[in-house]
Chains A and B, each alone.
Chain A
């Protein structure tokens, strides 16, 4: 909101950088502003269109656990509050495309409900992607990271064993604005159902599996840094929902290394969260259709199995999506893990002068670290931009 309202910030949402020309002090950035099919200057964000839109699609904001309409806003407090039509889902846009391709007119179904309902006359089906340019002196990459989708780790059964979810999916289950309005239901009980069934049982037994796809010689050996803490937090919040609930955290080392983190881990222990030193071997579907976790407790040197209602996979923090492509567009290098490469003691300088990076794009970081890094990247930009200005003044 602060950014959206700041007089010195131009916000280009739903846009992607195509290429970067020039050098520090004089970059020319080519940007593709994607078609929203909604006029940003007219849309008031009232939401009447989404209410009436007949097309439902899985909601990516809720990690597919809930649904949204073909005309949507990514989430309620999103900035800008402008709605966007998903061109792959919208019937009307599909109809228009078919028409263009010369399909049989009698077979083309068009909709157009949102345009009829919109009082602001903001719907524009003919909108096209726009290519725009911006001249800037420096660039900060804060493109974030990608969370590993753990289908490839077959022994953990994600996508195959019911009620095995990723930590981000679990966050949505815990959230008051999530698909269950914050009730801790087992996803297999409601996902894919037309209506949320009534009187669902609450999940009572939770397992959190650490280092899914990280610290793993078969995939990436890097430590994602923040997952121990989010698992502890999720366990504590779940126990706040229901103090009788059983929460187990399975990990090799519990990395609680930030300010107040060790104290937070202790708090979890004190309210009854169980920590098991182990690397979980396998998750199978048990006779009740619920996940069974197979693990060795390395302190007891024994193998156990245990049934849970929900198993939460702390899946790895991966380099940003399409990082190699990104590196090519910006003319920068990646490190051996695929994150954006920086220089020692110049922690925000990428390999191209005038382009800086902060946050998880340069390696795993938690929120306070990311916030501190963002400020530092700003300081670095100020240093460089002012130096460039001085050079110009000298000439």
Chain B
């Protein structure tokens, strides 16, 4: 505590203990924690709130900062992931540097895990608060980094999602570089015969969109191009493209929208797939669009979930969302074109979600399309002229359904570009190579990496309309970033003390964000504060503590460790060890 005396005149700590309704107060004694906090050195104010994050809780923090002249604020509540930004901005609004704020997690890491031991949970919360207060002593004011950005964006992928994103952005006045690998814009949608549920011709919807994009003064389209390299960070991405007949081209943009789409799964070796009589739903769609399904076709059997919702090697475990609606749509079209045709759909759960898809299902039923449920443990068998299925609705017998054509509904799977882009940009994908959004519910179109966004079937299989919705949505996310004209990045980044750095480059090799470079002339490493995400990996790698993470310096963490040890020491003393 001697070290504290040096700073004690500037340190006035306020502690706010949150009930979180009953989430915390239901399992530990918040009042006792707040009372305990008031006895800690440096704490001049402590109180409890029903919800510290509520408007009144925030007002209370702001009031206390002014009235009690607080120079540090500690909130003991939930995880920093939920409300740290809010509490920090409350400090800032009351004139306190936001980096003089410390959060203590007594919910996720205390009340929720010790629901049946109130006394111990209360003691643990006190320990955690004591640690937070100990660290708060040594916090330093910091300034965020600010950098101006240009309204220029790259959209990767020229399908419906990418086209929609590009058009929306361009209409907002943003310059767009649209990068497409094939010679033709429009993606998978243009290859379809019709769009569920209203049976629109995709040409009528997509071609005008392509037209607008290709002629938009704000959009530059690169077709037949591939991405060789993407480097940089929000506000400063550099893309190297290989464009047919133009060679290597460099583009600089502030943000990137990933819309590389997906492709249909080819069911090699499943249900006698041969591309002739046994075809995929996508192949049927193309036959319907061009040359027709063939003369004299009287019986069509469709099998759902081929290669999907399966744990088998090489198959996909997920439900591909759109195949049931596609099958029902194609069954309807077949019925309308050939009124005498018999169409049967063998399914597990028929996934016509929403209002219009379900209406389409009812229409198909009323037109005589037959639906037979099958059990995945006893799947249908494709014979020479028929499909055999045991649908237990009427009896346990195997039904023999005549089949001139068998249509297999296969899932959309991640495109070949997905892993390449993921690797180039260091953005995450899930086990199925679909891109992983920042938050599955609240940030579905953002990556966790700043300045990178996603939309369409590269996120997860979706309909053309959903791709359009997501494309426009991603555009709004980018627009909100660019409209400010600058990016602000957290001050909590690593910094190198060049007077002690020996230039071993251990930190450089371990940095997952490529934020560290080696200065050849001075033989020291240096950190790019915009690229650094503050993960702290470098600080662990550095043998001389020359790289330190602001806000998590040894001089801040060690007092916290010492404070944690205090209760242990008491425990040991009481055990007479």
A residues whose Cβ falls under 8 Å from a Cβ of B: 1, 4-5, 44-47, 76-77, 79-81, 176-177, 181-182, 215, 217, 221-223, 225, 253-263, 266, 277, 298-301, 335-337, 339, 344-345, 347-348, 363-365, 367-369, 371-376, 378-380, 382-383, 386-387
Q: A46-B56, A177-B22, A223-B354 are in contact. Are A382 and B468 (CB under 8 A)?
A: no
Using Cβ atoms and an 8 Å threshold, which residues of chain B touch A339?
355
Query: Are B55's CB and A4's CB within 8 A?
Result: yes
Complex formed: what's the CA distance from A301 to B393 in Å? Answer: 7
Inter-subunit contact B53/A77 (CB<8 Å): yes
In the complex, chain A residues whose CB is within 8 Å of the CB of B472: 348, 375-376, 379-380
Contacts of A182 in B (CB 8 A): 22
A257: nearest chain-B partner, CB-CB: B321
Distance in angstroms from B534 CB to nearest chain A CB is 22
Minimum CB distance partner of B465 in chain A: A347
Encode B454-482 as 1/0 by CB contact (under 8 A) with A: 00000110000110111111111101100
B476 touching A176 by the CB < 8 A rule?
Answer: no
Q: Which residue of the partner chain A has the closest CB to B90?
A: A5
Report chain B residues within 8 Å CB of A215. Answer: 358
Cβ-closest chain A residue relative to B165: A379
Bound Cα distance A81, B57 (Å)? 10
> B444 and A383: CB pair below 8 A?
no
In the complex the two chains form, what is the Cα distance from A369 to B358 in whole Å? Answer: 18
Cβ < 8 Å to A, chain B residues 44-65: 50-51, 53-56, 59
* Nearest 4 pairs of A and B residues by beta carbon: A375-B473, A222-B355, A45-B56, A253-B349
Listed by A's residue number, 11 A-B pairs whose Cβ atoms lie within 8 Å are A79-B55, A81-B56, A176-B21, A222-B354, A223-B358, A261-B319, A299-B392, A368-B444, A378-B476, A382-B168, A386-B172
Q: In whole angstroms, how far apart are the Cα atoms of A76 and B53 in the complex? A: 10
Q: Whole-angstrom distance between the alpha carbons of A336 and B473 in the complex?
A: 26
Asked if B444 and A371 make an inter-chain contact with CB atoms under 8 angstroms apart, the answer reads yes
Residue of chain B at shortest CB distance from A335: B355
Which chain B residue has the least Cβ–Cβ distance from A253? B349
CB <8 Å contact, B475 and A81 = no
A228–B444 Cα distance when bound, in Å, is 20
**A residues in contact with B56, CB < 8 Å:** 44-47, 81
B85 to A, closest residue via Cβ: A2
Q: In angstroms, how far is the closest chain A Cβ from the Cβ of B21? A: 4
How big is the B interface, by class? Answer: 35 or more
Which among B55, B198, B473 is the interface contact of A45 at CB below 8 angstroms? B55
Indicate if B441 sits at the interface (CB-CB under 8 A): yes
Residues of A within 8 A of B53 (CB): 1, 77
Main secondary structure of the interface of A (DSSP, over half): loop
Given A44-B56, A258-B460, A376-B473, 16 more contacts at CB 8 Å? A4-B55, A77-B51, A81-B56, A217-B362, A221-B359, A222-B358, A223-B352, A261-B319, A345-B209, A364-B355, A373-B469, A376-B470, A379-B476, A380-B472, A383-B171, A386-B173
Distance (Å) between the CB of B493 and the closest chain A CB? 24
Contact A176 B469 (CB under 8 A): no
Output the least CB separation between B410 and chain A (Å).
Answer: 15
Contact of A345 among B205, B444, B479 (CB under 8 A): B205
B171 with A387: CB separation less than 8 A: yes
With a cutoff of 8 Å between Cβ atoms, the chain B residues found around residue A374 in the complex are 473
Q: Which residues of A contact B362 (CB under 8 A)?
A: 217, 221
Please report the C-alpha to C-alpha distance between residue A337 and residue B325 in the assembled complex, in whole angstroms. 19
Determine the distance from Cα of A266 to Cα of B316 in the docked complex, in whole angstroms: 14
Chain A residue at minimal CB-CB distance from B472? A376
Known: A45-B56, A378-B476, A383-B172. A181 touches B470 (CB 8 A): no
Q: Is B144 at the interface (CB under 8 A from chain A)?
A: no
Chain B nearest CB from A162 CB (Å) reads 26
Q: Out of A266, A298, A348, name the residue touching B393 (CB < 8 Å).
A: A298
Which residue on A lies nearest to B200, using beta carbons? A344
Quick one: which of A181, A260, A277, A344 has the most chain B CB within 10 A?
A344
A376:B465 contact, CB within 8 angstroms: no
List residues 7-34 of chain B with CB under 8 A from any CB of chain A.
21-23, 26
Contact A257 B319 (CB under 8 A): yes
On whether the beta carbons of A337 and B470 are closer than 8 Å, the reply is: no
* Closest Cβ neighbor of B359 among chain A residues: A221
B479 touches A382 (CB 8 A): yes
Cβ distance A297 to chain B, nearest Cβ, rounded Å: 10
CA distance A47 to B358 in the complex (A): 47
B51 touches A375 (CB 8 A): no
A375 touches B442 (CB 8 A): no
A25 to B125, CA, bound (A): 55
A344-B353 in contact given A221-B362, A301-B392 (Cβ < 8 Å): no
Contact residues in A for B469 (Cβ distance below 8 Å): 347-348, 369, 372-373, 376
A262 with B317: in contact, given A45-B55, A80-B55 (CB under 8 Å)?
yes
- Given A81-B55, A176-B21, A345-B468, the answer on whether A256 and B319 have CB atoms closer than 8 Å is yes
The answer to whether A255 and B351 touch across the interface, beta carbons within 8 angstroms, is yes
Cβ contacts B302-335/A at 8 Å (1 or 0 each) = 0000000100000001110100000000000000
For A379, give its contact among B168, B358, B393 (CB under 8 Å). B168
Contacts of B171 in A (CB 8 A): 382-383, 386-387
Task: Compute how far the CA of A374 lies from the CA of B351 in the bound complex, rounded to whole angstroms.
Answer: 24
Contact between A77 and B54, CB atoms less than 8 A apart: yes
Q: Which residues between 372 and 401 of chain B lie within 8 Å of chain A, taking CB atoms?
A: 373, 375, 392-394
| Cβ–Cβ < 8 Å partners of B359 in chain A | 221-222, 336
Of all chain B residues, the one with the shortest Cβ separation from A4 is B55
Inter-chain contacts of B154 with A (CB < 8 A): none
Chain A nearest CB from B474 CB (Å) reads: 7
B86 within 8 A of A: yes
Are A223 and B168 also in contact (CB < 8 A) when A4-B55, A345-B205, A372-B445 are? no
Let me know if B541 is at the binding interface, CB within 8 A: no
Q: Is the CB of A263 within 8 A of B317?
A: yes
The answer to whether the Cβ of B440 comes within 8 Å of any Cβ in the partner chain is yes
Cβ-neighbour of B441 out of A253, A262, A368, A387 (below 8 A) = A368
B22 to A181, Cβ gap below 8 A? yes
Contacting residues, chain A, for B355 (C-beta < 8 A): 222-223, 335, 337, 339, 363-364
Contact A259 B440 (CB under 8 A): yes
B356 at interface, CB cutoff 8 A: yes
A81 vs B26: C-alpha distance in the bound complex, in angstroms?
22
Q: Is the CB of B351 within 8 A of A253?
A: yes
Is B434's beta carbon under 8 Å from chain A?
A: yes
CB distance from B173 to the nearest CB of A (A): 7
Which interface residue of A301, A367, A368 has the most chain B CB atoms within 10 A? Answer: A368
User: B358 contacts A375, CB within 8 Å?
Assistant: no
Chain A residues in 8 Å Cβ range of B59: 44-45
Contacting residues, chain B, for A47 (C-beta < 8 A): 50, 56
A108 to B440, CA, bound (A): 56
Cα separation A157 to B311 with both chains bound (whole Å): 40
Q: Is B137 interfacial (CB 8 A cutoff)?
A: no
> What's the nearest-Cβ distance from chain B to residue A84, in Å?
14
Min distance, Cβ A343 to any Cβ of chain B, angstroms = 10
- Please determine whether B441 and A371 come into contact, CB atoms closer than 8 angstroms: yes
In the assembled complex, which residues on chain B have CB atoms less than 8 Å from the CB atom of A260?
A: 318, 430, 440
A181 to B353, Cβ gap below 8 A? no
Contact present for B26 and A176 (CB under 8 Å): yes
Interface centre among A5, A298, A299, A372, by most chain B C-beta atoms within 10 angstroms, is A372
B350 touches A (CB below 8 Å) = yes
B447 within 8 A of partner (CB): no
* A1-B86, A181-B22 known; A379 vs B173 contact (CB < 8 Å): no
Known contacts A45-B56, A372-B469, A221 near B350 by CB under 8 Å: no
Q: Is the CB of B23 within 8 A of A176?
A: yes
A382 contacts B392, CB within 8 Å?
Answer: no
Contact A383 to B465, CB < 8 A, known contacts A45-B56, A223-B354: no
Judged by a CB distance under 8 angstroms, whether B357 is at the interface is: yes
Q: Convert B481-493 into 0s and 1s, putting 1 for each residue whose CB lies closer than 8 angstroms to a CB of A.
A: 0000000000000
Among B200, B309, B349, B474, max chain A CB count under 10 A is at B349
Contact A254 B21 (CB under 8 A): no
B 153-181 to A, binary, CB cutoff 8 A, 1 in contact else 0: 00000000000000010011100000000
